[in-house]
Amino acid sequence: MKNLLKSVVLASGLIFAANAASAQQKVGHINSRTVMESTTDFKNAQTQIQSLGATKDKELQDMFTLYQAKQKDLNDKARNRSEANKETVDVELNKIATEMREMEGKIQESQQQAEKDMEAKQAELFAPIQTKIMTAINAVAKEKGYAYILDLASGSVVYSAGGDDLTADVQAKLGVTAAAAPKK
């Protein structure tokens, strides 16, 4: 009986100690996507990326238009080919076909370069924004005494019934106004 009483007291003490320890570790959460999308820097970056995308699309479309014109020229010459002009037209057709193959290669290279340019521009524009947000998150966490801040946007949290949502606090630290809260 004495051992049972000691076990109950020891178990109660451990539970109390665990609860006291966990009470000291504040856990909060934010939605970094909401914070990022609410900043003026993000909106400006999006505008620049869209502008670059439109420029790249126009360049590719112009190249494709030239390719289509060559294709039409090739088809027209092939249609007008006869026994009398066969040798001359065949030389022209081969020349056009070679030009078209070169254009295809350039179009492919340009598409790949456009994708690289877009990725580089995104990295260039978003890296400082992410750094700024992380600095604000760290400042809010320290000011409010949080040991952990979980990011709901990263997908690593599948359930969040408790904890404090610090999204608005981080937005305030960045000087941006909160947009409508996302629906869960």
How high is the mean pLDDT of the chain? 83
Q: Higher pLDDT residue, 147 or 71? A: 71
Q: Which domains does the chain have, with CATH numbers?
A: 24-174 (3.30.910.20)
End-to-end, the C-alpha distance of the chain in Å comes to: 52
CB 97 within 8 A of CB 74: yes
Confidence of residue 98 (pLDDT cuts 50, 70, 90): very high
Which pTM value belongs to this model?
0.68
- CA separation for the pair 101, 145 (Å, rounded): 64
Question: Does residue 18 register a pLDDT over 70?
Answer: no
Question: Does residue 136 register a pLDDT over 70?
Answer: yes
Task: Identify the pLDDT of residue 4.
Answer: 47
CA distance to 10, 75, 121, 133, per residue, from 99 (Å): 86, 14, 32, 50
The mean per-residue pLDDT over the stretch 107-131 comes to: 96
Task: Identify the pLDDT of residue 141.
Answer: 87
% of the chain surpassing 70 pLDDT = 79
- CA separation for the pair 168, 51 (Å, rounded): 30
Alpha-helical regions (H) of the chain: 2-24, 32-37, 40-79, 86-144, 167-174
pLDDT digits (tens, 9 = 90+) for 41-63: 999 999 999 999 999 999 999 99
